[in-house]
Structure 1
Amino acid sequence: MANRPSPAAAARAAVAAATNVTRGLEQALISTVTEGVAKPDGRRQRWEKHKAARRTELTDGTIDAVRTLGADVGMDEIAAHIGVSKTVLYRYFTDKSDLGVATAVRFFETMLLPRLTEAITDDVDEYTLTRTAIGVYVNAVADEPNLYKFALTSPPSSAATADSEKLVAQLMTAALVLRMTERDADTSGAEVWSNALVGAIQRAVDWWMTERSIPVGDLIDYLTMLSWSSIVGIAAFNGSREAFVAAPPPLPEPPITDNGIEDTE
């Protein structure tokens, strides 16, 4: 029997991994501001801490501005809403793209990550876990349409989108490995499956945020249907790639109605 990580240990590992993603991105952004300014080490460290704190403060102000003024808000409007000059914004952010990435990082740190962490640490069955995690993500995005458009879907924010997907995939991988280990299943494909499902859900949500052609509950149902069917298929082979390739399951026959005619609706 393989060693089974406790739910608490797995959750801590997932949170630590996700936090490293957001901190790493934020640190990379901070290091680009006032680049080339020479300071003694002590002063530089204090300045870095000040920059990080000030960027967070200005990012929170930007989030409030976007919620109030809309996704197409400009730098002048953001600065006025926060109560600073545009020069101050450009002192801490190289451009609007930089501000968009910082906003995306803040969104995941403060709004999405805590909800996902709570979902994966709940002691529930696998189906409930799958549906809950999808619902958390979809509802977090659906509740913030302006913020989502400003921070995640504009072309300058593509780097933040990629890192946010990586964060969610890490959380999903941790949860998947934990549940599969409990079944003594092969977890070799866990990262592949997690990234594939997260990418598919992200693309579907991107489409839905633009079209809004179905209710949010229907979107969650369809995404759960896709994800759970994948998980059930993986579990049927206990995670074994070799077993699946050797005997792939056939496509089920269409259901038959009471009058003996195939039901194609």
Structure 2
Amino acid sequence: MTRGIEHALLGGPAESGPKPDGRRARWEKHKQARRTELTDGTIAAIRELGADVGMDEIAGHIGISKTVLYRYFTDKNDLGVAVTFRFFETTLLPRLTDAISDEVDEYTLTRTVIEVYVNAVADEPALYRFAWSASPTSSVTSAESEKIVAQLLNATLVSRFDERSGDSSGAQVWSYMLVGAMQRAVDWWMVDRPIELPELIDYLVMMVWSSIVGVAASNGSRELFMAAPPAMPDPAPLPAPGAETDPDAGTATDSPA
């Protein structure tokens, strides 16, 4: 399932209509290639000079005039969106497609994908801050890249539920819900990092996996779920302070002295 998925998602269907003018097509191809080159130069400048770098500093770091930069980007917001998507395209998407494997169980797959996403964002705080300051409505995943992640997740959910002879009709709604919630949680965390990174990952895994288990309990069927919503379980006893959980036994054990 995962072979060629990046090409399928990014390539899309061939456009129909009249054949474009040759010179215009060549110019558009050159313009896109130049934008990509300048975006890569901007990413290098941000990594070296920090998130507060200005357009003059970016142009100087690349070795061009600011006029040239504005020839290919309308403003800093446009450049911020380009940086966002380029980071997604070159860093996040390849890691996600590598992480998705048919060989692992669902829990391992869930945790691996969350770790890949969160670590990729956490490793690039300057790029995140630049994209966010350039456009407060943007983040490390723009609307278009969020759509691609949701499509990737949707394909995975449909495949797994088909294997269970389950109902995958809600997979697209679920995909966008998971991607959007994850993005908002990481956006919040990146501002002040109020908890440690491993804690954030654990909480996200706990919440996403609980959602997966809940949906799987009704085999993805909206009708089955609505006919008999699961009851709230009794609270499990929390581990005592200074104790750690034994994952094999499912109970808390004293920490070694």
Under a length normalisation based on structure 2, what TM-score does the superposition of the two structures give?
0.84
The answer to whether structure 1 residue 150 and structure 2 residue 141 are counterparts is no
Deviation of 1:232 after TM superposition, in Å, equals: 0.4
Give CA-to-partner distance per residue, 1:166-218, whole Å, 9 cap, x none: 12111111111111110011001001111111111101000100021111111
Question: Is contact 2:101-2:109 (8 Å) kept?
Answer: no
The answer to whether structure 1 residue 131 and structure 2 residue 111 are counterparts is yes
Gaps of 5+ in 1: 1-9, 25-39, 258-265
Give CA-to-partner distance per residue, 1:30-88, whole Å, 9 cap, x none: xxxxxxxxxx9222222111111111110000000111111121110100011100011
Q: Which position in structure 2 is the counterpart of 1:178?
A: 159
Under a length normalisation based on structure 1, what TM-score does the superposition of the two structures give?
0.82
The answer to whether structure 1 residue 46 and structure 2 residue 26 are counterparts is yes
Partner residue of 1:217 out of 185, 198, 206: 198
Moved more, 120-129 or 241-250: 120-129
The answer to whether structure 1 residue 188 and structure 2 residue 169 are counterparts is yes
Q: How does 1:58-207 map to 2 (within 5 A)?
A: 58-152=38-132, 154-155=134-135, 158=138, 161-207=142-188
More helix by share: 1
Question: Is contact 1:141-1:148 (8 Å) kept?
Answer: yes
Q: What amino acid maps onto 1:136 in structure 2? A: V
Give CA-to-partner distance per residue, 1:100-146, whole Å, 9 cap, x none: 11111111110000000011135100000000000000000000001
Question: Is contact 2:6-2:97 (8 Å) kept?
Answer: yes
Partners of 2:23 and 2:226 lie apart in 1 by 60
Q: What amino acid maps onto 1:248 in structure 2? A: P
SS of residue matched to 1:137: helix
Question: Is contact 2:80-2:135 (8 Å) kept?
Answer: no
Q: Which position in structure 2 is the counterpart of 1:11?
A: 2
- Against the structure 1 CA distance between its residues 157 and 179, is the aligned structure 2 distance closer, same or farther, given a 3 Å change threshold? same
Work out the number of aligned pairs and report it. 231
Question: Is contact 2:131-2:138 (8 Å) kept?
Answer: no
Gaps of 5+ in 2: 239-257
Structure 1 consecutive aligned stretches of length 4 or more whose deviation exceeds 4 Å:
none
Partners of 2:192 and 2:11 lie apart in 1 by 33
Identity of aligned residues (%): 68
- Against the structure 1 CA distance between its residues 95 and 185, is the aligned structure 2 distance closer, same or farther, given a 3 Å change threshold? same
